[in-house]
Structure 1
Amino acid sequence: MASALFISACGKNTVPQHEQSVSLDNVHQHIKVLASDKFAGRGPLTEGESLTINYLADEYKKIGLVGAVDGEFFQPVPMAKLTPNPDMVLKIGKLEFQAGKDFTARTEQINQTIDLVESDIVFVGYGINAPEYQWNDYQDIDVTGKTVIVLVNDPGFATQDDALFTGNAMTYYGRWTYKYEEAARQGAKAVLIVHETAPAAYPWGVVESSNTGSKYTLIDEENNRSKLPIMGWIQYEATKKLMTAAGLDYADLKKQALMPSFKATPLNLTANLQLKTSIEHAESNNVVALLEGTSRADEYIVVSAHWDHFGTKQTATGPKIYNGAVDNATGTAATIEIARILKKQHQDKPFERSILFVNFTAEETGLIGSELFARGDLIPTKNMVALLNIDGMNVLDAVDYTLQYGKDMSEMEDYLVKAAAKQQRHVKLDPRPQNGLFFRSDHFSFAKQGVPSLLFMSLGDTDPDYITHKYHKEQDDYSNTWSLGGVEQDISLIVDITSELATNEDWPKWKAESDFKKRRLQDRK
């Protein structure tokens, strides 16, 4: 099944076409191995991790790359593995809600027991404090020590009004991560985000699988005491029961929350919950391989993909392996193949800039590996020209477009348009901007540090069944019937952009005014 889609020569490089071709035999084999039951779902801090990172290091060595961590391939990521008690019960008045079925709760604090005892419950709309939008759901309310209930996404999605936030396209204020961060700043003890499939962009099953079982977190010097004590979700039907018990109408409250004049509403109910968490301190690893440049070796282009998935979960019917074939064995396999092709180019005409190939740990539990890397301890962010991140590829046939996540974000979008045109493809904006995918993968850790980034993701645009029945589920398995036409296209495209940046002198800039742009300007002074 070897392929011969040839990449246009980029920049100063002129390489024989046979050396530039994507080997789909290679890619198939990498995905097959990484998504095999032997790797047990590639869970961080498991035997699956050891198998995965050693496989990656071996493959990079075969290609001729070197480790970027003092000559080694592994960057230690110290963190804690936190496993909440699955049998906890949330009690509110006479109501009792079961973990998993009705709600989820977890913590990033290094604390074995967190008690909610008669914690006052407050509905705070979307839980947003955004001065630039003249919006503050926490105005005139003190939620210190309280349990807050918030809506997922932001008011722009609910109204589809482009003049409200950014309309259908989710802002960072709509992300669940922001809801927890802001509630912590406000002093809340617990947050329950109301799940509804449309604004969340995934069904309750995804919430349940992603927020139960073991999760991971980086640890600060204060054992994460600044983090929100209890981070939770609550199912839609459970929310309606709760609001009815409070003598309130959930639909009416949602309408009120769409107005900037909204005022937080105490429910006059209290929450009781004991969150017990088993804690293991351990060390996971990012895998970092280097293709060193020549005259400007201290300037780096980063090509990345997370290697982890959800591992193996024990259930009443036996173990379930979450192999994560598309998400993200495909992206991990692609980084190896991209490295192979670029090494070939580099041998013929060395790149002036260096290229880093990074496979991050613990993306699925909160972008942990990329957060550590983006702190700049190994490579300062001011030395990173740009990042190209892969998180789930089109394993089916080739298409006449490539997806762009975010709009008018950075000049990396111009590189995307140019490279796609060489393949006679056009750039199509994210068909589901309400899902906020720009904020949901490892590149976002770098964007927050000012590094212009592109996300390559194809999880549901070519396979409509994927999100509903495979995404973050045990059904995400490898198939030898995949044509990998889309994978071939995007590997070629990423090679094109990376090789051009590795030979030119450009430092792509952010377009829109943002915290990302401000951060980059600090680095580039």
Structure 2
Amino acid sequence: MIITWEKVVKNILLATSLMVTVSLPALAETAFVQSLDLAQYRTDVKTLASDAFGGRAPLSEGETLTLDYLVKAFKDMGLKPGFGDSYLQAVPLAQISADQNMQLDIGGLKFANGSEFTARTQRIAETVSLNKSDVVFVGYGINAPEYGWNDYQGLDVKGKTVIVLVNDPGFATQDPAVFKGNAMTYYGRWTYKYEEAARQGAEAVFIVHETAPAAYGWGVVQNSNTGTKFTLVDANNNQGQVGVMGWVQHETAQKIFAKAGLDFDTLKQQAAKPNFKAIPLKLSAQLTLNNKIERAESHNVAALLPGKTRPDEVVMMHAHWDHLGTVIEDGKSEILNGAVDNASGVAGVLVLARYFKQQAKMAALDRSVLFSAFTAEETGLIGAQHFAQHPSVPTKNIVAFLNIDGMNVNKGVDYILRYGEGVSELEQYLDNAAKAQERSVKADPRPQNGLMFRSDHFALAQQGVPGLLFMSLGDTDPDYIAHKYHKPADDYDPSWNLGGVSQDLDLIASMITSLANSTDWPHWLESSDFKAKREQDGRK
């Protein structure tokens, strides 16, 4: 049962007292709650999500305003720069704008860009072409030895175009003995499909879209894959990646397979069974991407609170600062301010940074805490990937990566969401902190959506660093996903209760304290490349 109580939040200098209703079970007022300045939190969210910041798009005036705001805040706190003598880390980006007047031809069938397919590239090249590229259906496009699954077994797809299914066989079968059943694994994510196809030497990948296994409609695919996109740039101008990263509508796939004399829906069912054999369609693909390439630098932000006895060991507290900027909808310019996603998270990091800096005057933590905000999360975890490849401290010295990607700005609740299960020992830290608040830990209500792999902590996980996601987008506001997520309606609202913010930040503060004053190194619990990387780093 939730017991609602009212308190005057201490140490807030206002003309009138600020009464804050926090729906929490009865618990002793912690040092964090005593110091919590929700007025400052509101100011931070309201400023970052204001129209003046233009939706905080990378490489925009909104980025400059955001960086200036965060750097000033960290300086005012007295925190040290997170990147040597700077609070900023340059992130080299290529801005690739493909001419949208393109057409896909497979077997003589011609498909319209946007409505029937999408295609883009991350190669730094003015032209990327498919010229009579053989088309092969490779089921889910998965090579997962630990699950006894390899759709590429005995197959040579070098220079070819592969068609793959979204998600993984576990979702298709709903059998918990197949992969993880309804819960998506990384093998189900679109990013993996492109990565594995590149390792196999394919020239192009087209993922067949269906709303249920993808967890979003075609409109999301279309908006995310047309127009200008950002990418990191490697020493080889990304030539090792697939040339064409594409999607096709379900109906488009049905037409392609029918042209080959095959039934797509029948083969889709067969592909969910072990030992499925890839099928050459005996059709060829033709497509040309004409790209405009611009290079520029965006920036990650970080500030350091040095530890007292083991400063080389670091706990990271993070939220991505970017959102989607300004878009044209129905001929009208619309600012996507991203108040919940993720100005609310950035403001939470600032609250925690202020608190621990003040606490350090009385009792410094043993380990260091790095407070960070990365760029270009919304366009593929780009800032996080760059940091993971060029960290300010060795990733083997990062104890944990705690990541806020949308806070509960409504009333407090008697639970905290856990994304993933049996993944790492950080789950036990979450259990302990929730128990201290007399809250339960509730499993992700939408495990098929793969949220474990869709925010910045995942880029660090690929380097072996255990992470934990704190996200509250739709569980306390049923209207959020349908009408606010990545839409103009995600705006700051002065009527927000902020009870959820109070209790979740209190919980996170407790976890940071436990991790920073411990000698433990949280382990991965399940076999994975992440666990193997961590063990290679000597953190067994």
| TM-score over 0.5 (shorter chain) | yes
1:106-121 correspondence runs (5 A): 106-121=120-135
The alpha carbon displacement at 1:387 in A equals 1.1
1:446-485 correspondence runs (5 A): 446-485=460-499
Partner of 2:187: 173
Q: 2:305 aligns with which of 288, 291, 299?
A: 291
Aligned partner of 2:416: which letter?
T
Contact 1:119 1:270 (C-alpha < 8 Å) held by counterparts: yes
Contact 1:156 1:170 (C-alpha < 8 Å) held by counterparts: yes
Q: 1:95 aligns with which of 100, 109, 133?
A: 109
Contact 1:195 1:204 (C-alpha < 8 Å) held by counterparts: yes
Aligned partner of 1:409: which letter?
V
Aligned partner of 2:316: which letter?
V
Q: For 1:76 and 1:15, locate their aligned partners in 2 and report how far apart those are by CA, in whole Å.
A: 41
Partner of 1:494: 508
Q: 2:136 aligns with which of 99, 122, 142?
A: 122
Q: For 1:501 and 1:489, locate their aligned partners in 2 and report how far apart those are by CA, in whole Å.
A: 19
Q: For 2:84 and 2:270, locate their aligned partners in 1 and report how far apart those are by CA, in whole Å.
A: 56
The alpha carbon displacement at 1:43 in A equals 0.9
Residues 303 and 235 of structure 1: CA distance in aligned 2, closer, same or farther (over 3 Å): same
Partner of 1:11: none
Q: Does 1:398 align with 2:412?
A: yes
Q: For 1:212 and 1:328, locate their aligned partners in 2 and report how far apart those are by CA, in whole Å.
A: 23
The alpha carbon displacement at 1:496 in A equals 0.9
Contact 1:151 1:193 (C-alpha < 8 Å) held by counterparts: yes
Partner of 1:158: 172
The alpha carbon displacement at 1:245 in A equals 2.9
Partner of 2:203: 189
Count how many residue pairs are aligned between Structure 1 and Structure 2: 520
Partner of 2:385: 371
Q: Does 1:445 align with 2:448?
A: no
1:413-452 correspondence runs (5 A): 413-452=427-466
Q: Does 1:46 align with 2:52?
A: no
Aligned partner of 2:173: which letter?
T
Structure 1: gaps of 5 or more residues: 9-13
Q: For 1:35 and 1:293, locate their aligned partners in 2 and report how far apart those are by CA, in whole Å.
A: 32
Q: 1:237 aligns with which of 240, 251, 273?
A: 251
1:39-438 correspondence runs (5 A): 39-314=53-328, 317-438=331-452
| More off after superposition, 332-341 vs 458-467 | 458-467
Q: For 1:20 and 1:384, locate their aligned partners in 2 and report how far apart those are by CA, in whole Å.
A: 29
Residues 238 and 477 of structure 1: CA distance in aligned 2, closer, same or farther (over 3 Å): farther
Structure 2: gaps of 5 or more residues: 1-17
| More off after superposition, 148-157 vs 472-481 | 472-481
Q: For 1:384 and 1:496, locate their aligned partners in 2 and report how far apart those are by CA, in whole Å.
A: 18
| More off after superposition, 270-279 vs 297-306 | 270-279
Q: For 1:439 and 1:338, locate their aligned partners in 2 and report how far apart those are by CA, in whole Å.
A: 25
| More off after superposition, 118-127 vs 458-467 | 458-467
Contact 1:396 1:484 (C-alpha < 8 Å) held by counterparts: yes
The alpha carbon displacement at 1:325 in A equals 1.8
Q: What secondary structure does 1:416 align onto?
A: helix
Give CA deviations for 1:7-39 in whole Å, capped at 9, x if unaligned: 99xxxxx99847744322222221221112211
Contact 2:403 2:470 (C-alpha < 8 Å) held by counterparts: yes
Give CA deviations for 1:184-218 in whole Å, capped at 9, x if unaligned: 11111111111111111111122222222222211
Give CA deviations for 1:360-398 in whole Å, capped at 9, x if unaligned: 111111211111212254210121111101111222221
Q: Does 1:507 align with 2:521?
A: yes
Residues 468 and 184 of structure 1: CA distance in aligned 2, closer, same or farther (over 3 Å): same
**Runs of at least 4 residues of structure 1 off by over 4 A?**
4-8
The alpha carbon displacement at 1:335 in A equals 0.7
The alpha carbon displacement at 1:328 in A equals 1.2
Give CA deviations for 1:205-255 in whole Å, capped at 9, x if unaligned: 222222222222111111111111111111222222323333322210111
Contact 1:310 1:364 (C-alpha < 8 Å) held by counterparts: yes
Give CA deviations for 1:270-329 in whole Å, capped at 9, x if unaligned: 222111221111111000111112121111110001111121234560323222222111
Give CA deviations for 1:342-376 in whole Å, capped at 9, x if unaligned: 22222221112111001011111121111121225
Q: What secondary structure does 1:306 align onto?
A: coil
Contact 1:388 1:443 (C-alpha < 8 Å) held by counterparts: yes
Aligned partner of 2:320: which letter?
H
Contact 2:24 2:414 (C-alpha < 8 Å) held by counterparts: no
Q: TM-score normalized by structure 2?
A: 0.92
Contact 2:48 2:66 (C-alpha < 8 Å) held by counterparts: yes
Residues 507 and 2 of structure 1: CA distance in aligned 2, closer, same or farther (over 3 Å): farther
Q: What secondary structure does 1:142 align onto?
A: coil
| Identity, % of aligned positions | 57
Q: For 1:354 and 1:4, locate their aligned partners in 2 and report how far apart those are by CA, in whole Å.
A: 33
The alpha carbon displacement at 1:516 in A equals 1.6
Q: For 1:80 and 1:16, locate their aligned partners in 2 and report how far apart those are by CA, in whole Å.
A: 46
Q: For 1:240 and 1:486, locate their aligned partners in 2 and report how far apart those are by CA, in whole Å.
A: 46
Q: For 1:148 and 1:362, locate their aligned partners in 2 and report how far apart those are by CA, in whole Å.
A: 28
| More off after superposition, 195-204 vs 513-522 | 513-522
The alpha carbon displacement at 1:66 in A equals 2.1
| More off after superposition, 170-179 vs 229-238 | 229-238
Q: For 1:469 and 1:344, locate their aligned partners in 2 and report how far apart those are by CA, in whole Å.
A: 39
Contact 1:202 1:467 (C-alpha < 8 Å) held by counterparts: no
Aligned partner of 1:279: which letter?
I
Residues 501 and 179 of structure 1: CA distance in aligned 2, closer, same or farther (over 3 Å): same
Aligned partner of 2:52: which letter?
K
Contact 2:32 2:506 (C-alpha < 8 Å) held by counterparts: no
Residues 325 and 473 of structure 1: CA distance in aligned 2, closer, same or farther (over 3 Å): same
Q: For 2:38 and 2:210, locate their aligned partners in 1 and report how far apart those are by CA, in whole Å.
A: 39
Contact 1:389 1:442 (C-alpha < 8 Å) held by counterparts: yes
Contact 2:22 2:411 (C-alpha < 8 Å) held by counterparts: no
Q: What secondary structure does 1:524 align onto?
A: coil
Contact 1:409 1:510 (C-alpha < 8 Å) held by counterparts: yes
Q: For 1:91 and 1:469, locate their aligned partners in 2 and report how far apart those are by CA, in whole Å.
A: 36
Aligned partner of 1:147: which letter?
T
Contact 1:189 1:228 (C-alpha < 8 Å) held by counterparts: yes
Q: What secondary structure does 2:497 align onto?
A: coil
Aligned partner of 1:65: which letter?
L
Aligned partner of 1:131: which letter?
P
Residues 20 and 225 of structure 1: CA distance in aligned 2, closer, same or farther (over 3 Å): farther
Residues 7 and 105 of structure 1: CA distance in aligned 2, closer, same or farther (over 3 Å): same
Residues 340 and 215 of structure 1: CA distance in aligned 2, closer, same or farther (over 3 Å): same
Q: For 2:131 and 2:487, locate their aligned partners in 1 and report how far apart those are by CA, in whole Å.
A: 34
Q: For 1:514 and 1:58, locate their aligned partners in 2 and report how far apart those are by CA, in whole Å.
A: 40
Q: TM-score normalized by structure 1?
A: 0.94
Aligned partner of 2:221: which letter?
V
Q: What secondary structure does 1:408 align onto?
A: coil
Contact 2:151 2:277 (C-alpha < 8 Å) held by counterparts: yes
